[in-house]
Structure 1
Amino acid sequence: MPSLAASHRLRTGRYSEKNRIYLLSTNTLCREHIFNDFALGRLVVAQFRVAQDQGFADSLAWVVMPDHFHWLIELRRGTLSGLMQRTKSLSTKAVSPYIDRKISLWQNGFHDRALRQEEDLVKVARYVVANPLRAGLVDKLGDYPLWDAIWV
């Protein structure tokens, strides 16, 4: 588990800018492969939709891997920390009844990267949705069930 100092370093220099595009990533606690179960992964996806429906972020691309997720968003309101706190908390509440644990589902903190140039967008979206291919989980992108992108 990351130390508090490591968690603090994740926040150093973090700035949330409305209408900026960010790539967000977070890991399950101890990198446990919770989302090998497709149904549990769909519960995380549902929280991406909640964030969009509530006007916090527009989802551009995402993938839920067995032990982490990548989420390419355009921040609409609030902060990155607030968005991730809500998403992680609500997904934990949704998943908890199906797994035998009473502790957090996610590691502390998250990683974010602000995209600087428009041409980065397609490259980063491809990176996000190709994660299952690079991890050797599938032979074709369409075979992996827990991804989406607005361009598809």
Structure 2
Amino acid sequence: MPTSKNAYRLRIGRHSEQGRLYLLTSTTQQRRPIFKDFHLGRLVVEQFRQAHDEGVVTSKAWVVMPDHFHWLIELNDKTLAEVMCRVKSRSSVTVNQACRSSGRLWQKGYHDRALRDEEDIKDIARYIIKNPIRARLTTRIGDYPLWDACWM
């Protein structure tokens, strides 16, 4: 993830297209592993679910790692910037309240990748949910508590 002085580069060429699938990634400020705490990670998950329930996105798969998340969505009626602003700001408020702290939770910006029609969405979802295994946090995805996919 770029430093904040280069965060503007993440916006170059960014386009939000309703109905398109996107893989979104955001990291915590200074890559702090705050979501090692399951309960704090669940606060981020709640924001994914709220965005889904409000019809802003259709969540396909996600994983919350100790210092970042990956979220595979279909964009519905908002822009990528609006979705990410909503999720990051709401999760910042709830995490800060839970920790009785204040300050920045997330690094500025986020990474997005628009998926092409010919890409196998299930393979990408498998890649997302296998992040805890690759990071050696677990040996079986079922043992890691902060993930989901609509096919599982």
- Give the AA of the match of 1:2: T
* TM score, norm. by length of structure 2: 0.96
Q: CA deviation at 1:98?
A: 2.5
| Whole-Å separation in 2 of the counterparts to 1:97 and 1:128 | 28
Matches within 5 A, 1:26-105: 26-99=26-99, 101-105=101-105
Q: CA deviation at 1:137?
A: 0.1
Residue number in structure 1 paired with 2:120: 120
| Whole-Å separation in 2 of the counterparts to 1:45 and 1:120 | 24
Matches within 5 A, 1:15-34: 15-34=15-34
| Whole-Å separation in 1 of the counterparts to 2:57 and 2:112 | 14
Q: CA deviation at 1:99?
A: 2.4
| Whole-Å separation in 1 of the counterparts to 2:121 and 2:44 | 23
Q: Deviations over 1:123-146 (max 9, x none)?
A: 210110000000000011100000
* TM score, norm. by length of structure 1: 0.96
- Give the AA of the match of 1:97: Q
| Whole-Å separation in 1 of the counterparts to 2:118 and 2:82 | 25
Residue number in structure 1 paired with 2:8: 8
Whether the aligned pair in 1 keeps the contact of 2:4 and 2:107 (CA below 8 Å) is no
Can you give the 5+ residue segments of structure 2 that lack an aligned partner in the other structure?
none
- Give the AA of the match of 1:57: V
Q: CA deviation at 1:53?
A: 1.3
- Give the AA of the match of 2:122: V
Q: Deviations over 1:47-67 (max 9, x none)?
A: 001101111100000000000
| Whole-Å separation in 1 of the counterparts to 2:119 and 2:8 | 31
| Whole-Å separation in 2 of the counterparts to 1:2 and 1:149 | 30
- Give the AA of the match of 1:129: I
Aligned structure 1 segments of 4 or more residues deviating by more than 4 angstroms: none
